[in-house]
Structure 1
Amino acid sequence: MSTSDSDPGALPAISSPGLVGRERELGALKAALCDPSAVVLVEGEAGIGKSRLLQELLAAHTPTSEQVLLAACPAVRQPFTLGPMVDAIRSATEDVARLGLSDLAGVLRPLFPEWASVLPPTPDPPEDAAAARHRLFRAIEEILERLEIRLLAVEDVHWADEATLEFLLFLTSRPGQRISLLVSYRPEDVAPDSLLLRLSSRQAAGGARLRLSLEALDVPGTAGMVSSMLGGEQVSDEFATFLHDRTDGLPLAIEESVRLMWNRSGLTRRDGSWGRHRLSEIDVPPTVRDAVLERSARLGPAALSALHAVAVLTGPSPEGTVIEVMTPGDDPASRLAGLAEAVDSRLLREDPKGLVSFRHMLACRAVYESLPGPQRRALHLRAARVLEGVVPPPVARLAHHFREAGDTTQWCRYAECSAELALASGDDATVIGLVHDLLTNADLPPADVLRLTGKVPFCLLSGHERYRELMDALRLVLDTGGPTRSEAGEIRFHVARLLQQMELFEESRIEMERALPDLGHDPAKAARAMIFLGLPYGTTTPAAEHLRWLRRVSRAPISMAPGDRMSIRVGRASALLVLGEEEGWAEAALVGDDAPTTAERQQIMTGQLNIGHMALVWGRYPEARRALTVATGLADRYQYRKLHRMGQVTLAQLDWLTGDWDGLADRAASLAGDEELLQPVSRLAAAMVTGLLSVARGDLDSADDCLRLVLEQADRHGGAEYSIEPAGALAGLRLGAGRIDDALRLTDEPIRFLERKGTWIWATGLAPVRCEALVMAGRDNEARDLADALAAGLRDRRAPGPHAALSTCRAILARSEGDHLGAAALFARAAEAWQAISGPYDALLSRERQAGCLLRADRSDEALPVLTETFQGLSALGARGDAERVMRTLRASGVGVKRPSWHGGRRSYGNELSPRELDVVRLLVGGRTNREIAGVLILSPKTVARHVEGAMRKLEVSSRTALAVKVVEAGVVADSPADARR
């Protein structure tokens, strides 16, 4: 190097940087933690300085070191359940007996087997997973209290397992909690469905709350940081700008670049300031990776081996573990010297407990990714062999290392152990993740595939892609030709189940028909397959053939596991009700309201959801509400989010039918836009409610738009059953506008489907519209045949809704024949049937038709009171469009009525964004086009454009970009998930 105003060799010693540009954040942290129950969140990208800020805080924090518990979340693919808390507590105490724990601590035995001799006995297992989790969390909280912990600091929470996140949520929600919580995380690594988002949005229970977002340093901050590394020497503005431009002000990149320049003797002093030789000619490494790899290349072989070992181990590890994982060629003393050299290089650090790790995770990744594949696999295998000797074995880390080593057998073994521990803690999400990873990424023999697949609760999976990945993995096993005939049958059985969950009903049925002949070795699966084939979804097969399958199931042996027995009972009850068979209700009565095992409980929830939906189809609304209340209550209690959301969809449909419309439009819109938990057909059911509400309120253009899109997507995604209701609703709307041909066209195929299938129980919303369209087209004989077919199909079934529809069809025919009084009586009968099951809207529409027939029969003295009551009922309900139509009839008959205030109608949001506008804007912020938003929310692009224009007008902006910026800055909606993770 050269100097102009100092002696050669006057390069100052390099040191760790001081805390620069974080004075405000450090002061805010200290102030917040003065509150004994504060919740502090520190977020920022990798290398931004979160850990350094935390170190400075802890160094200055007023409680003694014993009152602070520091936990770290390792960057492993499948984190061990509650691993960060377990490791931190282990390091905080060696003598657990002195804590005087209560009997509750017995639940900690699976997590701390080495303490088994001093922990209380394991208590009896609770009735459900939620209770098990809650008890476990209380036990951990008790340990923290006995250790007199005042501050729990958890680093890198973006890598935490779900149970750890749930514990943090539990801790922050406890009234009177005296433990402050500080967590750090990278927003870019937070999954869209992570519970961390709930933690970051929840208000602390009575304590202070602080959320800090660390930003990159500016040019002066960069200069200050470099200066702190050079003993306080001044840094030139030119060099600071140069360095800032090439590091974007990221503290880690700045630090590593300066260290590399120091190692190369590339610094020089000019005019009293430190800078680089010939800035235009000597590059500063553009990435931290380049800096780390060049620094590591200067180390000796043993030190480099230490770096490789720590990179593979990832998280803080004991010296002994690192030395054992290092390349085995050197003797232990040489390896120890190499580790010391690596620590001295400041690429690694050693904490007071002797745990070694990289100073920065980016440096760890740089070294790890530089390893050739064979060397990386060998290191993972050594790490796994070393960790197998640890007591208790860290099963999640072992699964990770064997996975990366390519040892599928051991990976599968330890991943299953992790899954079992997660199940014991009620952590279903971790179970699904572990098994899903194995099935989709491991080349397992068929027997292992089947065993693991049996652990996956398919009904809890969410997201179309996850189903597709699992199905592809199962089909790949079939394609290899390896499975035996019975194994192939079981795999096809599971593929069929996945296809059904994806609502691909025809494909699902084909796969199950292929599977059934090979399931003779497993009577329970064979019976479930027959139940599956007894379901009529997605096929035109006559109902009689489905019933033959169900009759065979009734003769199946009953000596099987409770979960299988419940599955068969639920499936048979559901299928019989879908087919319109009265005996299905006797089966449904046996399903029950809860069960002691997880498998039975999941079947009961599914069964009650099916029963609730079919009770709605049959018009048995009180029974529907009871079943849906049971199902959603169980799903909420045991935290089955997808099943709970599905129940909410059917409850929205029920609320529409029973006139409980308060807030229904917003709820239905939210459900229709839920891509995370709901499959397309379920979302369409919610969108259907939105369209029907628009019809009732007189917004006919929006209603037509919505119902048309629902019908199109029902035809595309679901079986013919799912097109019946939207076809009937859209046909009724078109018929009201005088478009008879449209109504006939829309109802042609659905009616033919019901005729072929014989499932007339589904015809409630379709048959009357079709009948009236035929009469208006002069095709009375076809209308009469339709009514007769409906009557034959219903026979003596206790189905108030379809029977009311039959009365309506008979009334339409009587009216067309000129028998107005007979028609009035039949419409009245339909109204009474609807009223008896708490269906006010359909009852009022039937009353309106009854009054119309009485007017045609010159019985205005009878008709007008009925019309007046109908007008009042529709007005109270909020059915503006229908009420205005009745009002016009009354006025034409000389009855003066006042226009109501429509307090039950759509809320006016003024200058606030409506819920639907908020849905649109959220997706717009995520970068979606109008057409993409339309697909998600089941709207037309034209309607989406109207909502965007309305939002822009209310917020006084003139472009989509300005709208996105304004709503994010104002906190109206969160930034897009993609942006939130950057």
Structure 2
Amino acid sequence: MVRMAGRPLSETVPSSLVSVRTPTPVLAGRDEEIATLARISGERPAVLLIEGEAGIGKTRLVAALLRRHEFDGVRVLTGSCPPLREPFPYGPILDALRTVTGQPVGALSPVTGVLRPLLPEISDLLPPAPEPMAEPAAQRHRQFRAVRELLEACGPTVLVLEDLQWADENTKDLLAFLVAKPPRRLTLLLTYRAGQTGAALGVPLRAADSVPVATLHLGPLDTEAVGTVATDVLGLSRIDDEFVRVLHQHTAGIPQVVTETLRAVRDLGFSGAAPSPQVLDRIAVPVLLRESAVERLGVLSEPAARLVRAAAVLGTPGESSLFGMIAGLRGARLSSALSEAVNGGLLGEADRGRYAFRHTLARRAVYEATSAPERQPLHANALRALANVVPPPYADLARHARAGGLPDQWQRYGEAAADRAIELGETALAIDTLQALLEQGKLAESDVERLATKLSKIALRGLRSDVSATLERVLAERTLSQTMRGTIRLNLGLLLVRRAGELGRARLEVEKAIDELSDRPELAARGINLLAMPIDGLMPLSWHEQWGERAREVYERLDDPELRLALTGDRIACRAHIGDGSAWTEFERLPEAGRTVAERVQLARLWCNLADAQSWIGHHGRADRLLRDGMVQANSTGALFTIELARGTRLRLDWLTGNWTGLAETGETLRRRYPDLGPVTAEAALVLGGLAAVRGEFSEAERYLAETSVHAPEHGVVPVVLAAAGMLARVRLGAGDIAAACAIVDSGMTSVRCKGVWVWAAELIPVAAEAYAAAGRWDAAETLVDEFTRGIDGRDAPVAAAALAAAKAVLLVARGKHADAGADFAEVAKAYANLPMPYAAAWAKERAALSRLACGDSAATAELGEVAEVYARLGATRDAGRCRHALREHGAWTPSPRGRRGYGTQLSPREREVARMLAAGRTNKEIAEGLFLSPRTVEQHVAKVLRKLGARSRTEVVWLEADSPTCSPEAV
């Protein structure tokens, strides 16, 4: 905050600053503080003090302040204090005054000549040097007066002195002299490390009552500000809240640490795509931070350095006595070492009586700078120091035992830590611990069975693809009992089914495990239940229903509440997926809370799986509510896999319901974060393909849609495959390739006929009818409509009903029955709007308007214009262009209801569309086709884009377009 001395200050200043070093410097979140300081500076003389710890952004704030218009025409003199062992007398002030040369100054009295020996660079501005005075104190006073008079002669001036914590005593005395009676038109702007006011000024600050003195205390960034920095450095429009939370925790919100950490993340290849929080554990400590920590460590005494190393080994905040036990220090030596470590900026008080490193990366830097021979006994000391803590910190005890070279204690504490983590829903910690224990290779067979079984079970909540390799090694290399082997193999199969391309192998493992557990049906139940779920692959629904019957038989013999709940939840979700309306009734009878963490995990799974089912059959409101509740429950229980599945469902639900802002970035994040997580990456690719298609980026759309298993449906998630087939067929129709569109439709229809779940074909059927009609395959078109009609009869699937009506209307258009088609499409539009599916509704309204126009109803042009605006607001630029092209053909196109406007140096909305397509590498021909413009018009737009962005060629737009000025969303 800003404090004022000398006069009241009405404004108060928040204690956080956003400061980030990027190719284009950015300072955000401090407008009020900067404006306040600028106003105070205008009331010269004034003294502005900026206080903050290292890396907090003091220099950046000064630079931003001095760029304001209030400082136009004001002379700025700058000096700084380097961290020298023996600072130069008056060093920063003399460095600042040397820059007076070349700028006019007022009349100077003879006393300023005393500065000639100190400032030879401006000797031509100074009068002759007077005779030196015999008394050193008098001579010093004369020098002080000379500096003040020179500053007075400079006129309106800002004297900036940075890092005053390293200033020499002479500089501090001179500053005290200037502050006591500053030149009339001078602003003193001083920066120094937090908590070091005395070191900065040497004496208490005493200014005249008429001189405003403002102190700005810069605090760390809050979580929101860290998110702002992250989006800027990584080049994103949206970023994951959990990543921002962990980043803030990792860096303590210190701007320099935040920025350096994000640069390290960006260097791993995450620029342009939001990374996961886990990546922060993989990055190396940035060089600047490592050197800073090691430099601070190097100037400490041996006891203080040992204490800091002990704190790094401990890894958590602790009391001084605990640090002392680990470092072998006590009494006065401990107190002295702690004070030195705190004053040196390496440790700080985390809370009352407990100390810690300022941020995680500082601790890591010190830990990595400590040699292994020195770390091992410190870990052993930490283990002894924590052994009697109640309740036992098992995770910490296991870590110290392992690093301290004590394997027996590591195994004991490690298993206890894993059990505690499972109980608390800390899934990642449990997996890490159990996997590490199993991979050490020194366990008895009984220990392997027990630990591997625990790992295989808890891994089902997690997201670790490497666990399957660990379990496979256990099965291949260790002698296990048949029951334990079957249990581990079953869970391995349940893990493999999540991975793209592993469906066949997963089912083989599950069936083998069911045989191994033939005498333990309660253990085989999850495997039987998996085979009953029809959503993956092309095995017919009847095959899954046979396994479903076996699952119901096993269910009746189960006593375990969690397992009964798991089977019940999966049965409900599966029935909902195929359009069985009774599933929702059964769901509403279930309890809303579980008694144990395991039961709550199953309820979270049910809510999220049922949300997925409801989104596919068209109950989008239900899906939205289930997702919100399910993700809260999943987060609270550590059900990480369920969370990611739910994020995939949320992504697709946002696509269907028209919430497209930031959708591409979110989709890329999901696609890149867990590339082995087949169900999630498929849904992300589906949405990214859809977004590319509606923008007219057909090659991009094909690339994304190929990742959905649309060309290998036997390995894919069937609803995703069929939706992707519908999108891909529409892309190929849009490109005029009717034969290719029919080929993908044929493949999709083969899949749906094989599977036998027709409600999943809702996004394929209308475009299939269009493709077959365009090819003149009328029998095929009529057949698919008849089959779809029978397939969805009696099913609870509102989207399928809308799709059937749409397909019938498409065939009416193809047969030239435009009046009937127009009326039917209008009803289809209402049906889609009620779901809601705004893009599908706009498509139906467009078809209705075109049908009316074909009947000679010119009034339909108004409706077509409205549809173009809906498409444009959604971001469906190709569809908007198609409507506008149709309006131009009917002589009814008006660019904007508000009329054209001039955009000056900013890009117009149409130019931004062109710029984005240029940045994606599109040719003029592809842009013209995507936006339904003439090649000549596109050439003009490209020329304007290059000129406005200052790009020398179209390839430069790749990085320039993202930084272009924001424009109005009006259509052009």
Give TM-score, length-normalised by structure 2.
Answer: 0.56
Corresponding position of 2:513? 515
Q: What letter corresponds to residue 531 of structure 2 in structure 1?
A: L
1:380/1:649 Cα in 2 relative to 1: closer, same or farther (>3 Å)? closer
Q: Deviations over 1:288-307 (max 9, x none)?
A: xxxx9xx99xx9xxx99999
The alignment of Structure 1 onto Structure 2 pairs a total of residues equal to 694
1:671/1:569 Cα in 2 relative to 1: closer, same or farther (>3 Å)? same
Contact 1:580 1:760 in 2 (8 A): no
1:478/1:886 Cα in 2 relative to 1: closer, same or farther (>3 Å)? same
Corresponding position of 2:484? 487
1:402/1:761 Cα in 2 relative to 1: closer, same or farther (>3 Å)? same
Given candidates 699, 703, 716, the residue that maps to 1:709 is 703
Q: Give the Cα–Cα distance (whole angstroms) in 1 for the partners of residues 354 and 584 of structure 2.
A: 64
Corresponding position of 1:557? 556
Q: Give the Cα–Cα distance (whole angstroms) in 2 for the partners of residues 960 and 886 of structure 1.
A: 28
Corresponding position of 1:666? 662
Q: CA deviation at 1:546?
A: 0.7
**Aligned with 1:708: secondary structure?**
helix
Q: CA deviation at 1:473?
A: 2.0
Q: Deviations over 1:567-595 (max 9, x none)?
A: 22221122233344454444444456554
1:195 aligns to 2:233 (yes or no):
no
Contact 1:649 1:668 in 2 (8 A): no
Relative contact order higher in (CA < 8 Å, ≥ 6 apart): 1
Q: What letter corresponds to residue 612 of structure 2 in structure 1?
A: H
1:667/1:769 Cα in 2 relative to 1: closer, same or farther (>3 Å)? closer
Q: CA deviation at 1:192?
A: 10
1:508-587 equivalences under 5 Å are: 508-519=506-517, 523-555=521-553, 556-557=555-556, 559-587=558-586
1:218-233 equivalences under 5 Å are: none
Q: What letter corresponds to residue 195 of structure 1 in structure 2?
A: R
Corresponding position of 1:872? 866
Corresponding position of 2:799? 801
1:650 aligns to 2:646 (yes or no):
no
Q: Give the Cα–Cα distance (whole angstroms) in 2 for the partners of residues 446 and 866 of structure 1.
A: 73
1:523/1:782 Cα in 2 relative to 1: closer, same or farther (>3 Å)? same
Q: What letter corresponds to residue 470 of structure 1 in structure 2?
A: V
1:542/1:886 Cα in 2 relative to 1: closer, same or farther (>3 Å)? same
Q: Give the Cα–Cα distance (whole angstroms) in 1 for the partners of residues 502 and 465 of structure 2.
A: 15
Q: Give the Cα–Cα distance (whole angstroms) in 2 for the partners of residues 967 and 602 of structure 1.
A: 45
**Aligned with 2:471: secondary structure?**
helix
Identity %: 25
1:441 aligns to 2:441 (yes or no):
no
Q: Deviations over 1:231-254 (max 9, x none)?
A: xxxxxxxxxxxxxxx999957767
Contact 1:388 1:398 in 2 (8 A): yes
Corresponding position of 1:30? none
1:901 aligns to 2:899 (yes or no):
no
Corresponding position of 2:207? none
Q: What letter corresponds to residue 247 of structure 2 in structure 1?
A: L
Contact 2:773 2:781 in 1 (8 A): yes
Contact 1:844 1:870 in 2 (8 A): no
1:715-864 equivalences under 5 Å are: 715=709, 718-813=716-811, 827=825, 830-831=828-829, 833-846=831-844, 848-849=846-847, 860=855
Q: Give the Cα–Cα distance (whole angstroms) in 1 for the partners of residues 962 and 774 of structure 2.
A: 54
Q: Give the Cα–Cα distance (whole angstroms) in 2 for the partners of residues 842 and 582 of structure 1.
A: 24
1:319/1:518 Cα in 2 relative to 1: closer, same or farther (>3 Å)? same
Contact 1:615 1:623 in 2 (8 A): yes
Corresponding position of 1:499? 496
Q: Give the Cα–Cα distance (whole angstroms) in 1 for the partners of residues 849 and 631 of structure 2.
A: 40
Corresponding position of 1:612? 611
Q: Give the Cα–Cα distance (whole angstroms) in 1 for the partners of residues 507 and 613 of structure 2.
A: 21
Q: What letter corresponds to residue 526 of structure 1 in structure 2?
A: A
**Aligned with 1:468: secondary structure?**
coil
* Structure 1 unaligned regions, length at least 5: 1-33, 63-152, 158-164, 174-190, 204-209, 217-245, 260-291, 328-334, 932-938, 940-947, 973-982
Contact 1:724 1:763 in 2 (8 A): yes
Q: Deviations over 1:624-657 (max 9, x none)?
A: 3443344356568889787667545534544544
Q: Deviations over 1:47-73 (max 9, x none)?
A: x999x99x99668799xxxxxxxxxxx
Q: What letter corresponds to residue 395 of structure 1 in structure 2?
A: Y
**Aligned with 2:748: secondary structure?**
helix
Q: What letter corresponds to residue 485 of structure 1 in structure 2?
A: Q
Q: Give the Cα–Cα distance (whole angstroms) in 2 for the partners of residues 825 and 347 of structure 1.
A: 80
Q: CA deviation at 1:490?
A: 1.8
**Aligned with 1:541: secondary structure?**
coil
Q: Give the Cα–Cα distance (whole angstroms) in 2 for the partners of residues 909 and 567 of structure 1.
A: 61
Q: CA deviation at 1:743?
A: 0.4
Contact 1:593 1:630 in 2 (8 A): no
Contact 1:458 1:501 in 2 (8 A): no
Q: Give the Cα–Cα distance (whole angstroms) in 1 for the partners of residues 493 and 789 of structure 2.
A: 35
Contact 1:767 1:805 in 2 (8 A): yes
Q: Give the Cα–Cα distance (whole angstroms) in 2 for the partners of residues 743 and 400 of structure 1.
A: 58
Q: CA deviation at 1:545?
A: 0.5
Q: Give the Cα–Cα distance (whole angstroms) in 1 for the partners of residues 795 and 809 of structure 2.
A: 20
1:379/1:537 Cα in 2 relative to 1: closer, same or farther (>3 Å)? same
Contact 1:710 1:726 in 2 (8 A): no
1:104-143 equivalences under 5 Å are: none
1:167-206 equivalences under 5 Å are: 193=243, 195=245, 197-198=247-248
Q: What letter corresponds to residue 756 of structure 2 in structure 1?
A: G
**Aligned with 2:539: secondary structure?**
coil
1:964-975 equivalences under 5 Å are: none
Give TM-score, length-normalised by structure 1.
Answer: 0.55
Contact 2:861 2:892 in 1 (8 A): no
Q: Give the Cα–Cα distance (whole angstroms) in 2 for the partners of residues 529 and 214 of structure 1.
A: 46
Q: Give the Cα–Cα distance (whole angstroms) in 2 for the partners of residues 618 and 962 of structure 1.
A: 45
Q: Give the Cα–Cα distance (whole angstroms) in 1 for the partners of residues 319 and 726 of structure 2.
A: 69
Q: CA deviation at 1:775?
A: 3.0
Q: What letter corresponds to residue 840 of structure 2 in structure 1?
A: D
Q: CA deviation at 1:400?
A: 1.6
Q: What letter corresponds to residue 774 of structure 2 in structure 1?
A: M
Contact 2:53 2:193 in 1 (8 A): no
1:160-559 equivalences under 5 Å are: 193=243, 195=245, 197-198=247-248, 211=255, 369-371=371-373, 384=383, 387-389=386-388, 393-405=392-404, 407-408=406-407, 410-415=409-414, 417-418=416-417, 428=425, 431-443=426-438, 445-450=447-452, 452-453=454-455, 456=458, 458-459=460-461, 461=462, 467-504=464-501, 506=503, 507-519=505-517, 523-555=521-553, 556-557=555-556, 559=558
Q: CA deviation at 1:543?
A: 0.9
1:598/1:671 Cα in 2 relative to 1: closer, same or farther (>3 Å)? farther
1:887/1:403 Cα in 2 relative to 1: closer, same or farther (>3 Å)? closer
CA RMSD, Structure 1 to Structure 2 (Å): 6.5
**Aligned with 1:482: secondary structure?**
coil
1:952/1:562 Cα in 2 relative to 1: closer, same or farther (>3 Å)? farther
Q: Give the Cα–Cα distance (whole angstroms) in 2 for the partners of residues 820 and 318 of structure 1.
A: 82
* Structure 2 unaligned regions, length at least 5: 1-10, 18-51, 57-82, 85-162, 167-191, 200-217, 228-240, 261-286, 923-929, 931-941, 967-972
Q: Give the Cα–Cα distance (whole angstroms) in 2 for the partners of residues 805 and 732 of structure 1.
A: 15
Contact 1:349 1:356 in 2 (8 A): no
Q: Give the Cα–Cα distance (whole angstroms) in 1 for the partners of residues 882 and 313 of structure 2.
A: 74
**Aligned with 1:442: secondary structure?**
helix
